[in-house]
Every structure is written in structure tokens, then in C-alpha cells.
Structure 1
Amino acid sequence: MSSPAAAPVPAHGRLLALLAVLATALVPALLLAPHALAANGSQGGYANQRNLVDAVGDGFVEYWHSGDRRLSPDMQQLVDYWFRFHVAKAAIATLLLLVLTALGILLWQAYARAGGPGTARRAALASAGTCVAALALLSLLVVMANVQGAAAPFTSLLSMLPVGTPGHGALADTLDQVRQSLTDASHPGGTSTPPALATMISDNSRYHATLAVIAGVVAALLVGVSVSLWRRFARTARWQRRTRRVLGSFGALSAVSSPVLAVLAVANTATATDSARGLLIFFNGG
């Protein structure tokens, strides 16, 4: 008869395996599923990047010359598609982040509790935990970027315009007009702002304000996590070296990451408050 203490081991292993399988399935889903989930009917062609870029260019030219703040029908269709794309990608990335977080906690707990001479097992657990932590951080960035894109999908679409490359034709002429209008708008007493440009400035402000808020919230959360980890580090007995190593490593990572996100929040706040200047830098290829 097996001892009661042995029962949790296979259950723990099964949970690790289940989470690993889920993470393995969600990574390709993050890359492939958003376009399919965002498409409906005629919009299936947007899954091709070249087709999407061309459609954005054509739609932008039409909208700029429409003389209306409201998006033109083609541009609105693209924006609706891109909104659904960002929502789908943010949802999948959030699920992946949760799975990776749970998987990482289990791996690092197993590493901290691993006893005996199993050096190779501990090294494997540490390597797996490090890879999972890196993927979780990347997933967090994907969530942040796609929440930002869902909040202002029009500005997100504009990033596909070939603003930094020489061009010709209607799109190149339109981009030149946008640059000139933004230059005029940056000077006090300049000419009146074209309707399309007013929408672009407003949406760009929302785009950067959204990321500023997200980055600020995540930075504050990381500060809290770092404080909690360092407190646990201080309360952990010195002989529990692996536990202290894990707590100290993630406490330091959280402490280092939070200022980076705080700087990101400040930079995006500055752009949101001077949206026209930020757009001018973008359309000049910056």
C-alpha cells in the first residue's frame, strides 16, 4: 500500500503536464487565431498582411479626402476588424499569461523543494522556470499592447502606413498633406485643422493615454509584488537557500521592471498631452 505522503506527487505532475500542454496550445493560437476570430465574410482577406497594408493605405486616402471627421465606410470596416483582432489577441494572451503564471509558480515551488542529490533535476526545473517566466513577461507585454490597440484601433492601423519610405501616387501625396497639416497645427495661429486630422489627433491621444494608464498600473502592481517577495525573503530561514534564491530573483526582477514601466507611462502621458506633435514625429518616420 502506498503511503499518504506519496499521493500528491503524481497529482502535482499531472497538473504541471496539463498546464504545459495548455501553454503549448495557446502559443500558436496567439499567432494564428486572432485574424480568424476577427474576420467575417469578405474580411477574410485581411489575414494576408500585404492585403491588409494595401487596404489601410487605400482606406486612409479615401478618408483623408472625405472632408468628414467620421470614418469613411471602408476605413470603418478596417477599424472594426482591427478592434476585433486586438480583443481576440488580448483575450488569448491573457489566458496564456494566467497559464504561464500558474505553471511558473509550480515549477519554482518544485525547484525550491527539490531535495537530495538530483542536481540535473533541479537544473531542469530552474531552466524550465526561467523560460516560463520570460514567456509570461512577453505575454504581459502582448496583453498591454493589444488592450492599447483595442482602445484606439484607428491609430493602431495607422502604424501600417509606409511613412518612413519614399513613395509615389495618391498615398504619398496624402501623407505629404498630412505632414504639412500637422506642421501647421503645431504653430499657434496656424490654419484650421482638417476634419480627418482632428479625429487622428484625438484617437492618437487616447491610444497613448491608454498605455500610460496600463503601464502605470502594472508598475504599481510590480512594486507591490517586489515588496511582498522581499518580505518573504527576509522571513525565510537562511538554510532554505533555493527558496531565498527564487524569492530574491523575482523580487529583484519586479523592482527593476517597475521603473521601466513607470518611464513608459510618463513618456506616453507626454505624447497623449501633445498628440499632434507625436503624430508629426510618426509621419516624419520617427
Structure 2
Amino acid sequence: MLVALAVALVPAFIVAPGPWAASMSGGGFGDQRVLVDGLSTSFVDYWSSGDRNFPPGLERVVDYWLQFHVVKAVIAATLLTVLTTLGVLLWKAFLRAGGIRAGGRAALASAGVVVTALALFSLTAVMANIQGATAPFSSLLSMLPMHAPHGELADTLDQVRRRLADYPNSGDRTPPAVEVMVSDFSRYHAVIAVAATMVAAVLLGMSVVSWRRFASTAASDRRTRRVFRLFGLLSALLASAVIVVAVANLTTAADPAPALLAFFHGGW
């Protein structure tokens, strides 16, 4: 049942968000090209409006993108729950597989490794989509054609770069759109910093528990000791990587303008 549910959730993660977001936001975008065109046009309108509030066109795009990430986050979280449960069952079966032939034990171990890897991928998807749902405007900015803009969009991007280069020490009043983008970009990175910190704490806890179980297991039970040693090492290594991500995003959240300027120069 868990395998069937996981298999059903993977295509749902890809297919379902677009139609759902379209129905919840009062309109859809047939494909990515339509979304990029709508974003480009509405971003130019927003910049030229001189207002903090999004114009209707941009509001519609942002709302669509918010709903899109909410659905993906929910599906990814459900998939993570299913895969975690399945992984626990597989590893427990592997530890109890004393009377099973070597081929059966190898199959259980291989399935456990695959499911664990998929669970880590699902965890990454959950974090990324929570980030996108919390700061959908900054998430959308990554879809602007920075490398090949034309017409009014090219002029607008040049103005944004000039304003960001002077931020916050510009001689005249900072455009409201710049303040909104800088604030939203800070929140965009703060969210992932907080999420990464929480994940790192969980991984470190798992590592400690795994090493304790390893130490308390009899030396004659080599299979159990190998499994807990593997999880202890893997959890510690993953925690270290996630801590680096948390620190990097926390640094950007504290001073977002330089990173945002680098993004508008195509350095995302």
C-alpha cells in the first residue's frame, strides 16, 4: 500500500500543482512561456507604477505561484511521510532477516537505500516549496529572462540594477519596488535558514541515537551494528551540509541587497 501510494504521489507532484493553482487563483497559465510572459509584462508595470502594492496583473501571477508551491509542499510532505514509514519498515525487516537468503537480504538493503535517498529528495522538495510559498515574489523573479531581456523589460532591469547598486545609500528616495524586493528576498532566505536549522537539529539527533544504538549492540550482531553505523555517519554528514546551507542563507537574509543585485546580473 505504501509503495502504491508513493508511486501515485510522484506524478501528482508534477501534474497536480498547475491545475490546482489555476483554479484557486482565478486563472491559469497554460505553460511556462505564458507564465514568463505574464510575469515580464506585469513586472514592468509594477516598476513603472512607483507603488509598493502589486498591480492586478502581478498580483494574479504571484497568487498563482503561491498556490502552486503550497500544493507541491503538501504533496512533497505527504510523500516524505510515506517514504519515511516505508524506509523504517524496510530497515527493520533487514535487521530481522536472519533466516532469509543472502539475495533476499541484499534486496531489502537495496530497497532501503533507494527509499532513504528518495526520502531525502522529498525533504529537499518540502523545504524548497515552503520557501517558495512563503516568498512567492522572490521565487518568481528567478523566472525573469535576465540573460536575454528585450524592450521595456531590458530597460526596467537596467534601472533595477542601478537602484540596487546604490541601495540603501541612494541620494534620492528609494523606489518602493526596490524596498519590497529587498525585504521579500531577505524573507526568502530566512525561511530556508530556519528550515535548514531545524533539519540539521533532527539529523544531529538521529546521529546521536544511531551511535548510541551502535555502541549498545552486541559485537556479534554485525548487521545491526553496520546499519546503525551507516545511519550515524550519514546523519552527521548531512547535518554538516545542511548547517552550511543554513549559515549561507542566514548571511544573505541579514544583508540581501548584494545577493539580489548579483541575481539581477544573472548570478542566481
Name 1:179's counterpart in structure 2: 161
5 Å-filtered alignment, 1:47-66, equals 47-66=30-49
> 1:43, CA displacement in angstroms?
5.4
Q: Describe how 1:66-77 pairs up with structure 2 within 5 A.
A: 66-77=49-60
8 Å CA contact retained: 2:192, 2:249: yes
Structure 1 residue 37, shift from structure 2 partner: 1.5
Partner in structure 2 of residue 34 of structure 1: 17
In structure 2, C-alpha distance between the alignment counterparts of 1:71 and 1:145, rounded to whole Å: 24
Q: What runs of 5+ residues in structure 2 fail to find an aligned partner?
A: none
RMSD: 1.4
Q: Which residue of 1 aligns with 2:151?
A: 169
Structure 1 runs of 4+ off > 2 angstroms?
A: 41-45, 188-192
Q: Of residues 75, 86, 91 in structure 2, which corresponds to 1:103?
A: 86
Q: Partner of 1:123 in structure 2? A: 106
The residue number in structure 2 matching 1:220 is 201
Aligned counterparts of 1:184 and 1:191: Cα–Cα separation in 2? 10
Percent identical: 58
1-side partners of 2:202 and 2:30: how far apart? 35
Q: Partner residue of 1:8?
A: none
Pick the aligned partner of 1:262 from 233, 243, 246.
Answer: 243
| Larger Cα-atom Rg | 1
Of residues 181, 198, 205 in structure 2, which corresponds to 1:200? 181
What TM-score comes out, normalization by structure 1 length? 0.90
Kindly provide the amino acid, as one letter, of the partner of residue 261 in structure 1: V
Task: Note closer, same or farther for the CA distance 1:41–1:100 as it changes in structure 2 (3 Å cut).
Answer: closer
How far the C-alpha of 1:50 sits from its partner, in A, is: 1.2
Number of residue pairs the alignment of both structures matches: 267
Contact 1:185 1:191 survives alignment (8 Å): no
CA contact (8 A) 1:151 1:210 kept: yes
Distance (whole Å) between structure 1 residues aligned to residue 165 and residue 153 of structure 2: 18
Secondary structure of 1:69's partner? coil
Per the alignment, residue 159 of structure 1 pairs with 142
Contact 2:20 2:71 in 1 (8 A): yes
Could you tell me the TM-score, scaled by structure 2's length?
A: 0.96
Name structure 1 gaps, 5 residues minimum: 1-17
Residue 277 of structure 1 aligns to which amino acid in structure 2?
Answer: P
Work out the CA distance in 2 between the residues paired with 1:235 and 1:150: 43
Q: Contact 1:185–1:192 (CA<8 Å) still a contact in 2?
A: no
Look up the match of 1:231.
Answer: 212
Correspondence list, 1:232-247, <5 A: 232-247=213-228
Tell me by how many angstroms 1:42 deviates. Answer: 8.2
Opposite residue 80 of structure 1, the aligned amino acid is: D
CA distance in structure 1 between the aligned counterparts of 2:237 and 2:36, rounded to whole angstroms: 37
Tell me what 1:15 maps to.
none
Q: Is the 8 A contact 2:200 2:240 kept in 1?
A: yes
| Cα offsets for 1:76-123 (capped at 9, x unmatched) | 111111111111110100000000000001111111111236111111
Greater CA deviation, 108-117 or 124-133? 108-117
The alpha-carbon deviation at position 167 of structure 1 amounts to 2.7
CA apart distance, 1:189: 5.0
1:45 Cα deviation (Å)?
3.7
Q: Which amino acid aligns with 1:106?
A: L
1:9 matched residue in structure 2: none
- Please state if 1:209 is matched with 2:190: yes
Which letter does structure 2 place at the counterpart of 1:242? R
